[in-house]
Structure 1
């Protein structure tokens, strides 16, 4: 439309179109454009959403592959607090009321490290990075990885109507420590410790123009964020949206915070089990990228799963302010099914909240049973599980991490086991229930309908959310098999070290995925990644040629690699490696190619933490107490 308007305007100026006629043409064009936009919004309002990108950093899992491998093998990811992180905590403890007390740490689901960040990649000074809350740093890198996983890395979405919805329920503890440990730096630390800025960092980098916001409904924050993002796309506020959740435990000391009606005697979350005694603390950073399903299919996106529908509601008045409400939970599930327009009998798995408490577990099962009983009397046809038993409770990130688990299960057509289940809660009669505990890895079989599942998240704020997922269409994108012809493959990074690590990752990746269409690999790498200072371009004829040249690039200094090329392709690669901006999309015009999952950028993370000579030497004079004891019981 813009090009047509420009042509009309230029012809009016040159006198080739009479001014009044030109004005009428422009007005007509404007009205047509508005009509098209309204039709697009109307179309989106009934559309399913596709999950096209995902990334997560979780206990004992720094990648989706590691996460899925842990799930399917029933790995218990609960552990003691890492010794490598204890020193930082013990130094900060000197600024709290616990400075003279013996410190013990809660067992939980912990990340190996939270103090590292590639500040150079994001053009942030080391000083500013050290003053930033780890939450901001870690989410920025996870969000970037999510865009790359979807094939929309680099500047591919720059200036687009991309929304950003983040579930986060923390408070600025790190910023408070900065104010006491490095008071002279407090002023420049403010933006790095205001929670709302979490949802501003990526839009600032990539000029996103869609809605951007932080959602806090406690445990249901990130699933509510997904629901709101879906609605935003349907109403035309954004074209696609990145949705995430964050949970970091800066001070996992027993006296500071505890979860559950009782302390976890066994340090295990045993959802729906008779011996359940509360959940376990956990950390996690996760994000997904969603867009309308029809656009994902048209644009050749890799689709993990389809979001069929969702709903949110509120407990309202209940026995206690944090006590779950069975009627509200039933209602939100029914509303999600209605929004998804599916037969509830086709739901064959539910990823439950699984509070692992004597009260919460029976209430959740009762709500699910009542919802199903409105449609069927069938028994034990729907498996149920809870991620908490594997990695603990990631709080505000729990919903989006559960979505990732469910999407991976749909993708692999397997239902992973729920661990630590031995004997059912005496107040739950699974024999007469539509649901059954899935305590072993099983193939996910579905004969008469696509595989479908539900994901629940109930916040102790009273805000509930349920989402219905469906497996990706089998033939989501009909592509052309590339003719036997030379291919160009490009890689780049902001440092030589990162580039070498990327080469290693690609070598392993190509070796382990023999069925990959290498034309799709090149298309995704060339068009779906950023292009930085350190560059590599490879022209190859077949798989063996590609592997040999990758191996050569890993062993020989880049300056010494210069094999004879192939005419125009050779010239294009030479210009690219010298820093030229190449529009790789034009190389694939008229070709139907598919985005595929590829290795992600290798960040060169360096330590970024509060610096103070007294703090580092554990010599602190007159510190102010900035923590008070907080206990949540639910």
Structure 2
């Protein structure tokens, strides 16, 4: 489930993190957008930090007060009087009654989506959550109790519950939409709830290869293997035949590559076949496959399909398949050695540990239905012959083959000139151009300006 996470107060932040949950695809990068009292973007914020300049200055406050103990030396966000109500689907009168922070949240939501290389229209109708941390608001008090306001937009304009809901409405996204008030901890509580919503099994159960797989639980792991030449070893758990790592291309979706543990089936199958050819071992001789088993429905299916194609083509006995991730959760960088440790201990004991949380194995794999492949759900004896250990990783690589012709759109032509001037002032960044191509592959509603540049 993709998510948005915001904090409200002297700063406004947003992160987008995409994951796989239920039957929703996509996963990838994290982007943040920041406005502070002294900066309009993260670059200006960084410059202020490294230049060691104090941005908190005296000046006219947004509020009128006469209290002698209240100082006018504060940090102030700029451009609060500017807002494109039509673009964000906000009624003109409502826009004038909205809390300025609500308007800024909408603006930064768009900026962060854009910086992530996405077109907002791509999010339409998807299961995406919005989580906002918010605290006290002077604007809320004024909007609710100002008797001069008679048009009825005051409460909806300043209600904190609308901070998240308005973003969900604008993007037409269908996930949870929560504004969380936990005083000074509001931002971290919102972040905590947002993280729990993405690619994590809510019940702490990693249901590898199960029909009801819904993401993996995270877990810690520290493991070490001591390797020796066989002739020098005083104790042997297993013999290493071959180890190989290789980047496997991702799936090309309608809006670009699908990230996460999804891989192109044909590429993964080819890699496995070449591996066993190089090892001079027939895949049919492998007794047990310790699979990755991320418990995301798409990735699990892809992995089982590859195993079926490579190991079960001319098989006469049943291939056993399991995943230690179901037993202890996803251990991130330690996943590979964790899986190998399970196999080595299985060799030592003579039986392999069964998967947890797999009461109903998925039935969309032919080899599982006809018995050529079997998911080990109870501890099972093994002959300790050949065992395969598969691993997957979410590593991002960028390779640009995009021409230097760039087409863009914007709310108005003047914005295009600013973007083009900025692009011409810097060295070409292939990653940035790839993101811009992805953003503008489809029309962005409300963008009236069109233009192109050759870099």
Provide the TM-score with structure 1 as the length reference.
Answer: 0.36
So what's the TM-score if we normalise by structure 2? 0.49
Specify which structure has the bigger relative contact order, considering alpha-carbon pairs within 8 angstroms and separated by 6 or more residues. 1
